Amino acid sequence: MKVGIIGAGTMGSGIAQTFAQTDGYEVYLCDIDDDLAATGKAKIEKSLMSRVSKGKMEQAEADAILAKITTGTKDICNDADLIIEAALEVMELKKALFLEMQDIVPPTCLFATNTSSLSVTEIGAGLDRPIIGMHFFNPAPVMKLIEIIRGENTPDELKDKIDEISKSIGKTPVDTNESPGFVVNRILVPMINEGICVYETGVASVEDIDIAMRLGANHPMGPLQLGDYIGLDICLAVMEVIHAETGDSKYRPSPLLRKMVRAGKLGVKTGIGFYDYRK
């Protein structure tokens, strides 16, 4: 099966790695230009090389995985069987992308979006085929869950096929109905936002908040470290969607979160967030 991934950022490249590591899949990893797509593949190479250097993978296996990933712009997906869109969390961008993709790919090609909170129904409106949410978690090669999100017009057959594909790549799918943030982000991102509010109101330091949640709640990362890891821009975008869609003030983004995003302090990807990654 040929899988076209649109967007070669953190999630797109992680999803590409996940498929390429599984027998029976070839991957097209695409972005707006060849260089960005190649940068996505370079991230995968780095991740595989780290496994090789730890003795957890043979060099030949890493080479074979990389050989299954072709990079370029979206036109290379012209014989894809499945498109997974992992572009920026901007509704108009996602809608326009799928409209363009339906003229590139075969009529039988399946459409899925990795949106982290937007309406699958709205993304799919006006397309010539149904669409489904296939929400991966970062780091995609490691995290076992995929949320399968049915929009208003998603048929059972598409859901069943995406369930099967998810299981074939070693993931556990859970069904969710369309709702802002679905299940995980509806719970997780407000928790990160609350962690930021706790820091903002002087309850504890960044480090102590993270230690408290790691050791007191057994979370693998504290909320501020996790916000940096996900990307504070993504956290803000998710909070804004949940807040706007529910109208509930309990989902109000923290002013500090807004300020940090405005300052370009987005976390790991920009080298600084609640922690400094530039050293």
Give the residue numbers marked as catalytic. 116, 135, 147, 185
**Smallest distance, Å, CB 13 to ligand 3HC?**
9
Q: How far is the CB of 128 from ligand 3HC (least distance, A)?
A: 27
The CA distances from residue 188 to 65, 116, 273, in Å, are 32, 12, 18
- Closest CB to ligand 3HC among 129 and 186? 186
Q: Which is nearer to ligand 3HC, 124 or 133 (CB)?
A: 133
What b/e string do you get for 184-194 counting C-beta neighbours within 10 Å, with b at 16 or more? bbbebbbebbe
Residue with tokens 């999100």: 149
255-262 and 232-246 helices, crossing angle to 10°: 130
Which residue's Cβ lies closest to ligand 3HC? 116
Encoding tokens for residue 185? 């982000």
48 or 109: CB nearest ligand 3HC: 48
Q: Supply the minimum distance, in Å, between the C-beta of residue 7 and ligand 3HC.
A: 13
**Residue-by-residue DSSP string for 76-109:** GGTT-SEEEE---S-HHHHHHHHHHHTTTS-TT-
CA 183 to chain centroid, in Å, comes to: 14
Q: What are the φ/ψ torsions at residue 218 (nearest 5 degrees)?
A: 60, 30
Q: Which is nearer to ligand 3HC, 5 or 188 (CB)?
A: 188
What is the smallest separation between the CB atom of 92 and ligand 3HC, expressed in angstroms? Answer: 19
Query: φ, ψ for residue 248 (rounded to 5)?
Result: -95, 125
CB 141 within 8 A of CB 16: no
Residue among 54 and 279 whose Cβ is closer to ligand 3HC: 54
For helices 223-230 and 206-217, give the axis angle rounded to 10 degrees.
Answer: 100
CB-wise, 105 or 134, nearer to ligand 3HC? 134
Please report how close the Cβ of residue 156 comes to ligand 3HC at its closest, in angstroms.
25
Sites of contact with ligand 3HC (CB under 6 A)? 47, 50-51, 54, 56, 116, 137-139, 141-143, 185, 188, 220-221, 226, 230, 234
Please state the closest distance from residue 229 (CB atom) to ligand 3HC, in A: 7
**Strand 145-150 to 131-135 pairing:** antiparallel
Query: Please, which residues have CB within 8 angstroms of residue 33's CB and are 6 or more apart in sequence?
Result: 73
